[in-house]
Structure 1
Amino acid sequence: MNSAIRRRPPFVNIKYPSGEFAFISAFSLLVTFCCGNASAQETADDLSQKLANPLANLISVPIQSNFDFGAGADGNGFAYTMNIQPVIPFALNDDWNLITRTIIPVGYRDYLPGGDVGGLGDITASFFLSPKDPGPGGLIWGAGPVFLLPTATDESLGAEKFGIGPTAVGLVQQGPWTVGALGNHIWSVAGSESRADVSASLLQPFVSYNFGHGTSASLSVDSTYDWTNDQWTVPINLGVTQVFQIGTQAMSFQIGGKYYADAPPGGPEWGIRTTLTFLFPK
């Protein structure tokens, strides 16, 4: 094991709703079996820098937990969303990579009029064609299509629409700093005629700073605009991330808070986010 990635005790007592811990464990074992253990040839700082770059040549499997509070008509509602977000790069040739980024949400809501609801949400799959070498000024960029898949197991957890649109990301890494933005727009093109059409934009500016020894801090604004209902949702996220290693498996853990600068009526007011990421350096 590379001594630059220091052994640290695992983060303890990360609690999930009933049954989800077993799901995460099984999924993690499957990923490890398919991808193998990390080669431990990269330092914690190398991995920290790559984590800040959504187009890095690094297979990663983040398991993100979002605990949101202050939702519902009375402001006492709770929402939980676990996003499984595998990011897999493919080398197309000597000059170009294709990076796939999939978001698989599993959610729970306790404030909806019909009672408590839990299950799978709609899956979002993005594909970025990206040059292997940075451009002028160190610009790293990628662009391609994004797809919305109507996979929700309950109508309140999804749009019941198939959608498609463009997506792009650009960033610059200078020293310990990473500054960039990701965006997309999705239009619905098929699905249930009884549901409203989807026309939604995402703009996600982000900045992170690497303190060294695998520790970094990040700030992002995951702003979305619903053109159909003329409504912004703007959670501001601040988090701290630590890269570590258990055996030969490189991992990272992030914890942070979020504040909703804007949200639909009955939406949450604030929340907590944790992310456990399995890293597979290529």
Structure 2
Amino acid sequence: MDADALARSAQNPIAAMISVPFQNNTNFNYGPNGHTQNILNIQPVVPFRVNEDWNVITRTILPVISQPSFAPGEDSTFGLGAVQFSTFLSPAQAGRVIWGAGAVVQAPTTTDSALGSNVWGGGPTFVALTMAGPWVLGGLVNNIWSFGGEERNRYNNFTFQPFINYNIPQSPGTYLSFSPLITANWEARSGEQWTVPVGLGAGQIFRIGAQPVNALAGAYYNVVRPDIGPEWQLRFQLQLLFPR
């Protein structure tokens, strides 16, 4: 695959290609004291061919979190957050609209109560996109409900990630990306539920020896956020690509 084809596949969350993204998100002015939070998401994507008509694409998100203290005298916390595992059933032969539908499960893998809930959860997930000329346009959505647990560990979280990518024709493998992570915590009180970022990133396909790599950097400002939510975010990603 040439650089342009690799870039388009990397921008497709349900491409029939193994990839391992390492996405680092640094959140600034986070918490009541305006400290910095850092989350490294390790996100392997592994497709499986069911038959000539259908693929199953699995996507795992393993968050490694550095959480600042929320009160004087408290220490910061470092550890593993809740792992999310998604499966998408998707047509093997892509049409004008590429889509996948399935389920997402959240596992209670948190190593500290400050890093998330310790109960299982799950819900539906869906992704759709289209490729038109240099553009890749689409979105991924899910909602995860907790399965029981004490009130302080319950959650009901919505995630929507639109993505608009422009692949620069004059420079194959180079692209601009708008892919904010819009979230809602339905358990929070009114006015504290939504986080809505706005920003832009830029990416480049390159090779380390024979290994193709997708590099992406971007910055996002949260125009809507909870009182203790971060004000803005820097995102850096290195994605190892394993085309067939």
What TM-score, normalized to structure 2?
0.93
Q: Does 1:98 align with 2:56?
A: yes
Aligned-partner Cα distance in 1 for 2:154–2:233: 28
74, 94, 97: which one aligns with 1:134: 94
* Counterpart residue number, 2:206: 244
- Tell me the distance in 1 between the aligned counterparts of 2:97 and 2:54: 15
Confirm or deny: 8 A CA contact 1:78 1:111 kept in the other structure.
Answer: no
> RMSD across aligned C-alpha pairs, in angstroms?
1.3
Give aligned-pair identity as a percent. Answer: 45
- Choose from 201, 218, 236 the match for 1:256: 218
Say which structure is richer in helix. 1
Does the 8 Å contact 1:71/1:111 carry over to 2? no
152, 169, 176: which is aligned to 2:110?
152
Instruction: Output the CA distance in 2 between the equivalents of 1:261 and 1:161.
Output: 31
Look up the match of 2:152: 195
Contact 2:180 2:220 in 1 (8 A): no
Distance change (3 Å), C-alpha of 1:260 and 1:172:
same
**Could you say which residue in structure 1 is the equivalent of 2:14?**
55
Counterpart in 2 of 1:36? none
Q: Which amino acid aligns with 1:181?
A: G
**What is the deviation of 1:127?**
0.4
State how far apart, in whole Å, the 2-side matches of 1:156 and 1:74 are.
16
The separation in 1 between residues aligned to 2:196 and 2:83, in whole angstroms, is 20
One-letter code of the match for 1:267?
Answer: G
Aligned partners of 1:62 and 1:85 also within 8 Å: yes
**2:42 match:** 84
- The correspondence for 1:181, drawn from 136, 139, 142, is 139
Aligned to 2:4: 45
Instruction: List gaps (5 residues or longer) in structure 1.
Output: 1-41
State whether residues 63 and 83 of structure 2, in contact with CA within 8 Å, keep that contact through their aligned partners in structure 1: yes
Distance 2:27 2:133 in 1: 34
SS at match of 1:195: helix
Contact 1:110 1:117 (C-alpha < 8 Å) held by counterparts: yes
Residues 1:70 and 2:32 aligned together: no
Q: Which 4+ runs in 1 deviate beyond 6 A?
A: none
For 1:214 and 1:49, how far apart are their aligned partners in 2?
9
Contact conserved, 1:161 with 1:198, CA < 8 A, in 2?
no
Q: Which runs of 5+ in 2 are unaligned?
A: none
